[in-house]
Amino acid sequence: MNKEEFMRKAIALSIENVAKGGGPFGAVIVKDGEIIATGVNRVTSTCDPTAHAEISAIRAAAKALGTFNLSGCEIYTSCEPCPMCFGAIYWARLDKIYYANTKTDAKDIGFDDSFIYDELELKPADRKLQSEPLLREEALKAFEEWTKNMDKIEY
């Protein structure tokens, strides 16, 4: 299969998911020219706000490959990733993102992530979602233990 065929698969998944009552998003993860995982938006069907197509595909790919490091893989997604999925793609170390619809296309149908990008630019005290540091000195113990642990698996 070529890039266009992989993207057509992601788009087909998104259309099929709408027909099943889900969100209009689909994703395909490819390694060495083979599809190793797919995902669709399952936010409402699973009552999980993190169950976006890209996250679902990443979880399936990691399970299929037995690793959290998806280097050597590419993701084809029917829409430009939201901030959460974009971060997950980076953390999974995927080599490349291909996307069809843009974040503006998504915004036009009610999936507007721009407020998150705007919030990230603000100091925590100025964000709409209030946050407050609490018990940092106690929490640093875990970081100290991590630093000392010679058997840790870095990611």
Nearest to 39 by CA among 51, 21, 48: 51
What confidence score (pLDDT) does residue 2 get? 97
- Judge whether 155 lies within some domain: no
3-state class (DSSP) for residue 67: coil
pLDDT, mean over the chain:
96
Beta strands in the chain (DSSP E): 26-31, 34-40, 73-79, 96-101
Q: Which domain holds residue 37?
A: 3-148
pLDDT in tens, 106-140: 999 999 999 999 999 999 999 999 998 899 999 99
CATH number reported for the structural domain that contains residue 41 in this entry: 3.40.140.10
Total number of domains in the chain: 1
- Judge whether 84 lies within some domain: yes
Catalytic residues: 54
In this model, does residue 149 exceed pLDDT 90?
Answer: yes
pLDDT in tens, 20-36: 999 999 999 999 999 99
3-state class (DSSP) for residue 76: strand
pLDDT in tens, 78-100: 999 999 999 999 999 999 999 99
- Judge whether 19 lies within some domain: yes
Tokens read off for 56? 């679902």
- Judge whether 37 lies within some domain: yes
d(CA 81, CA 54): 8
In this model, does residue 153 exceed pLDDT 90?
Answer: no
